[in-house]
Amino acid sequence: MEELEQWKEQLSHLSHLAMDRLREVPPNQLYAAAAIAIFTTLLLLSVRLFKRSKSNTIVLTGLSGSGKTVIFYQLRDGSTHEGTVTSMEPNEDTFILHNEKTRKGKIKPVHIVDVPGHSRLRPKLDEYLPQAAGIVFVVDALDFLPNCRAASEYLYDLLTKGSVVRKKIPVLILCNKTDKVTAHTKEFIRRQMEKEIDKFRASRSAISDADIANEFTLGVPGEPFSFSQCSNKVTAADASGLTGEISQLEEFIREHVKQ
């Protein structure tokens, strides 16, 4: 109790000294200091609000030939652009989604980036991930099994990137070409990719505990890998770029790019 009383006396003494010093400062200097403090506070608040503003960028990625470019054009103008060659440069545009062009009222445009799937061009992806509101990983559901390992490795590398994990960017595995009778279901594709990613997780951990290519690890140690274990939300959806059936993709975009 005595120590507490001593602390109270010291605080009271210091507060009186501070008030005496303030009385000695000319009023104009006090006003200037207050104005600077208010301006600094408002500036910091505006910076924080700007940083919190939600991005309107959706990144399309996946292996070459999965149908990303066709989907890009379906979103933009409802055309299939059949015969479009594999992209060697990103397709990038800001537009109102084609299915929303007839709606009344103000509609927020979406910035869509279609990143080439060729392995030599994938580093371009890192340019767009920091501002992404969502990532769409396109998979060819018709020719899935021969490409399962390559697609799973690409997705594994994507899900362990710091720019994706820290911001918890949602990822949609878009199973394209599901209009075909022989196409695999999204449930099958999801399970197979989980199994392949589990193998990559184990093999890369055995090679090195400090794998510089992957900034984060996936899953729970000792348990089979599941997308539900990811820090960011990973879901799967069906689509058909050639027939224009992309409603599940459009729902994903509008969930993460609010009006």
The structural domains of the chain, with segments of one domain joined by +, span 1-50, 57-256
Q: What is the pLDDT of residue 228?
A: 95
**Tokens standing for residue 152:** 């799973």
**pLDDT tens per residue, the chain (259 residues)?**
555 566 667 667 666 666 666 566 676 665 555 556 565 555 555 444 444 456 899 999 999 999 999 999 999 998 876 545 556 678 899 999 999 988 888 889 999 999 988 777 778 899 999 999 999 999 999 999 999 999 999 999 999 999 999 999 999 999 999 999 999 999 999 999 999 999 998 887 655 444 455 678 888 888 999 999 999 999 999 999 989 999 999 999 999 998 7
Pairing of β 110-114 and β 91-95: antiparallel
Axis crossing angle, helix 186-207 with helix 144-159, rounded to the nearest 10 = 60
**Tokens standing for residue 191:** 């399970």
Q: What is the pLDDT of residue 44?
A: 53
Judge contact between 101 and 248, C-beta under 8 A. Answer: no
Q: What is the pLDDT of residue 51?
A: 42
* Exposed e or buried b per residue across 125-160, where buried means at least 16 C-beta atoms within 10 angstroms of its C-beta: beebbeebbbbbbbbbbbbbeebbeebbbbbbebbb
**Tokens standing for residue 104:** 């009344």
Tell me: domain 57-256, CATH 3.30.70.380, correct? no
Q: What is the pLDDT of residue 120?
A: 77
